[in-house]
Amino acid sequence: MTTGYGSEKVLPYNGEEGKGIQIRRMFDSIAGTYDRLNHTLSFGFDKGWRRKGISALKPFAPRIILDIATGTGDMAIALCKALAPEHVTGADLSEGMMAIGRRKAAAAGLTTQITFEQQDCLSLTYGDGTFDAVSVAFGVRNFEHIEQGIAEMYRVLKPGGHLMILELATPDRFPVKQLYRLYAQTVIPAVGRILSKEKAAYAYLPASVRAVPQGRVMADLLGRVGFTEMDTRTFTFGVCALYTGKKR
């Protein structure tokens, strides 16, 4: 198994604890302001990106879905509303984030359709071949070991099941590349510091995006784990990427 992707080494706080421990602590600390900041910093585009990701799964009509790094449940709720599956399991390290997700699911009348469970994506407790589809929105860059996490998603998918990954990306064309770099290095940390009082989290965000596997590297990783029929698309001038694959 290949290791050493750059984002695995980008940590929110320090080098004394494992990344998973730090990610859980960071998201617990920003849970109360996460949704507002997320929508603000993406100018609301994150909602459209989720819709595009869900559209990639819609032709397959998945009935049992796992949403990894579910956070406050936006993707899990959107999956339920758009695809009407039998059940969606939202899995995350952060109980603080999922507590908000549970309240949002209750407000949407989806408490029987969505279950939130604390899980480590590197060692999921679900059996082989449990889910028709697995989604992860803006969470891969937070994995302590990316290939191991994707291998776990492959394991819990049924044969013929589908993976959908949404992840932030780094634009590579002038002038968007330069404008995005300026925005990521100055605006995101400043707004995050003001609104959440959590400087580390919003300095970590742009650093992790720069280092996460992107484009062909991510597609090759999916193929190495075992996925077929991989597809890669980008949105909003390359700021967001969609990766899909099918389990053999």
**What confidence tens digit (pLDDT) does each residue in 88-115 have?**
999 999 999 999 999 999 999 999 999 9
**What confidence tens digit (pLDDT) does each residue in 52-92 have?**
999 999 999 999 999 999 999 999 999 999 999 999 999 99
**What confidence tens digit (pLDDT) does each residue in 136-193 have?**
999 999 999 999 999 999 999 999 999 999 999 999 889 999 999 899 888 888 887 7
**Residue whose structure tokens are 């190495």:** 224
Contact predicate 238/173, CB 8 Å: yes
Structure tokens belonging to residue 169: 């990306």
So what's the pLDDT on residue 62?
A: 98
pTM over 0.75: yes
Instruction: Give the domain 6-170+211-247 fold.
Output: Rossmann fold (3.40.50)
Give residue limits of the domains in the chain.
Answer: 6-170+211-247
Average pLDDT, the chain: 94
**What confidence tens digit (pLDDT) does each residue in 15-36 have?**
889 999 999 999 999 999 999 8
**pLDDT at residue 1 greater than cutoff 60:** no
**What confidence tens digit (pLDDT) does each residue in 194-223 have?**
777 777 888 898 899 999 999 999 999 999
